[in-house]
Amino acid sequence: MQLTPGQVFHHRWCAAMAARDAVALRDLHHPDAVLLSSSTGSVRSGAERIAADYAQLFATAGAVTTTAVEDFTDLGDTIRVESVVSTAFARMLTYDVFALDEGRVRVHVTGTILPRPPAPAPAQHAVPTPGQELHRRIWAATDARDAAALRAVYAPDAVQTVFGGVVRGADAIARGTWEGWQHGHATRLKAVTAFTDAPQAVCVEGVAGVEVQDTRFEVAYYQVFLVRAGLVTHSVTGLVSPRPAELRQGLDRLADARLKAAQAITLGMAMRVPRTW
């Protein structure tokens, strides 16, 4: 079986975590790597500092073992992993987004899906940080259904994960979003529950209201933006609640109910049509 560079990296990462090998983890990072933790709201810079934090984690919780991978999205230079990890004291479903450069980490964003930790309140700033301003621009364009303003947020070669696939290129991202609006799809931000940012990345956890034609529901989500020169190069989104399988089942049940309703209406109309014989 041929492994991608992203898969090779993840295998090495998991092995180092299970072996409590902080030195190996340090070597998996570029010297100026950045780690953002949505669970704690912390930002760590530099491979040595990040490795020291891992050493402290191992001293407290022991080995961190990956027991299952629920989702692995390979974007080439970036991977998103949702995995079940276990320590001597806890079992968690986590998400990790790694921006890689020659097999080593440039940016790592991590958070917990289940159980949900008490996330730190998003910091309030008199002057918005670049990450906060970027987030505001994205939602302002979304609320206004302004595809041009949304397009301006992304780098030309940007990559976006969407439910069930990947969209590549700022033009394709803006066009796909605009087409969704035309088909009655809309998303409204209802709350930001966690916000962590650095010049290289933004991590948001929140609650959004989603409208698909005449159906409305809420989702809790996480979204990671990787940033270069003030523009989004990667937008990676995942569901916290409902989980993807639960959402698919719900939408399938809704589609079945609509089909049955349409069939019942059609049958009723047929029974009322005057017959000539």
Specify the pLDDT at position 258.
52
The string of pLDDT tens digits covering residues 237-263 is 999 999 888 887 766 666 555 545 444
- The model's pTM is 0.88
Which single residue is written with the structure tokens 């940016």?
107
Alpha-carbon distance of 148 to 141, in angstroms, equals: 8
Could you write out the DSSP letters of every residue in 61-73? H---EEEEEEEEE
The string of pLDDT tens digits covering residues 175-198 is 999 999 998 889 999 999 999 999
Return the structure tokens found at 269: 């109309």
DSSP one-letter code for 200:
T
Specify the pLDDT at position 247.
81
Q: Give me the long-range contacts of 192-196 (CB less than 8 A, separation at least 24).
A: 192/122, 193/119, 193/122, 193/220, 194/38, 194/41, 194/111, 194/119, 194/120, 194/122, 195/122, 195/123, 195/131, 195/132, 195/135, 196/36, 196/37, 196/38, 196/41, 196/42, 196/43, 196/109
What phi, psi does 119 have (nearest 5°)?
-65, 145
Return the structure tokens found at 52: 């020291």
Residue 249 or 55, more confident: 55
Alpha-carbon distance of 117 to 240, in angstroms, equals: 12
Per the CB < 8 A criterion, the answer to whether 99 and 234 are in contact is: yes
